[in-house]
Amino acid sequence: MTGPDTPLAAQPVPAGPPAPQPSTFTELVSGILNDAQKLVRQQIDMAKAEFKEDLSRTKRATIFGGIGVTLATVGGLTLVGFLVALLAAFGFSVWASCLIIGGILLAAGITFGVIAQQLFESFNPLPDKTFNALQENLTWKTEPQT
């Protein structure tokens, strides 16, 4: 029932020829090398994508952190002036008030600095997933086949 007047959707689709099998050792090795090159390119593309994602997250966190630090600095300086004046109003001398408030803020700053250092040490900007996959692929290729 197929002919020149039959619509394309109604015509049966012939199956394509099967993929050619390598007939020589050279073609087989060439195919393996092409597959290996393709795999390495895919691994590199995956590493780039993962790095861009991590970089985007780091950039966003840095922007919010910078704004937060700036606002906290302005607020903190205002609060320090208030606290020094408050202690002076309770009978402390101005230099003693500055020493007390400065010591408290220094201790708090060191504590937060240590916490920040520990957080930065736990963050790894390298694309671990990609490198692990690449290492697994390289191990597979170098292991003797039984």
20 within some domain: no
- Is 138 inside a domain boundary? no
In a domain, 51, yes or no: yes
- Is residue 146 included in any domain, yes or no? no
Q: What gap in Å lies between CA 38 and CA 137, rounded to an integer?
A: 12
Domain count of the fold of the chain: 1
pLDDT tens digits in sequence order for the chain, 146 residues long = 555 555 555 555 555 565 556 678 888 888 888 888 898 889 888 888 888 888 888 888 889 989 999 998 899 899 889 999 999 999 999 999 999 988 998 999 999 999 988 888 887 666 667 777 777 777 765 666 55
Cα–Cα distance list, 73 to 65, 68, 94 (Å): 12, 8, 22
User: Is 123 inside a domain boundary?
Assistant: yes
pTM here is 0.40
The distance of Cα 105 from the centroid of its chain, to the nearest Å, equals: 34
Range of the domain at 34: 26-127
Q: Is residue 92 part of a domain?
A: yes
The tokens describing 71, both together, are 């606002």
For residue 19, the SS3 value is coil
User: Is 66 domain-assigned?
Assistant: yes
DSSP 77-129: HHHHHHHHHHHHHTT--HHHHHHHHHHHHHHHHHHHHHHHHHHHHH---S-HH
17 domain-assigned: no
